[in-house]
Amino acid sequence: MEEENLIVLTDEEGNEHEFEVLDILEIDNSEYAILLPLEDNDEEEAIILRIDIDENGEEILYEIEDDDEWEMVAETWQKVVTAGKNGEAF
């Protein structure tokens, strides 16, 4: 795992959490980060966050609160993973 694929996020309580960036998807002019927690976790479930730009031009990651938007990104990610396993281009 390359270090450039790692990101550390701080939660609301100030705790730092390390993630591997699995992919960045661009869908309908929005970008989404697919992250995998690196902490000891029995579930290896990826986290999907929307990437936006703040007033200073910095990238900010936001939780997706809209269920339809989350489903759209999750389905697209699943297609990417499936295509990759089958050796297909997506």
The pTM score is 0.80
Q: How many residues does the chain have?
A: 90
Asked if 34 and 48 count as a contact pair (C-beta separation under 8 A), the reply is yes
Q: Where are the alpha helices (DSSP H) in 1-90?
A: 67-85
Quote the DSSP letter at residue 3. Answer: G
- What would the mean pLDDT of 11-27 be, rounded to a whole number? 94
d(CA 76, CA 8): 25
Predicted pLDDT at 42 = 60
- What would the mean pLDDT of 6-13 be, rounded to a whole number? 92
- What would the mean pLDDT of 7-28 be, rounded to a whole number? 93
Quote the DSSP letter at residue 42. Answer: S
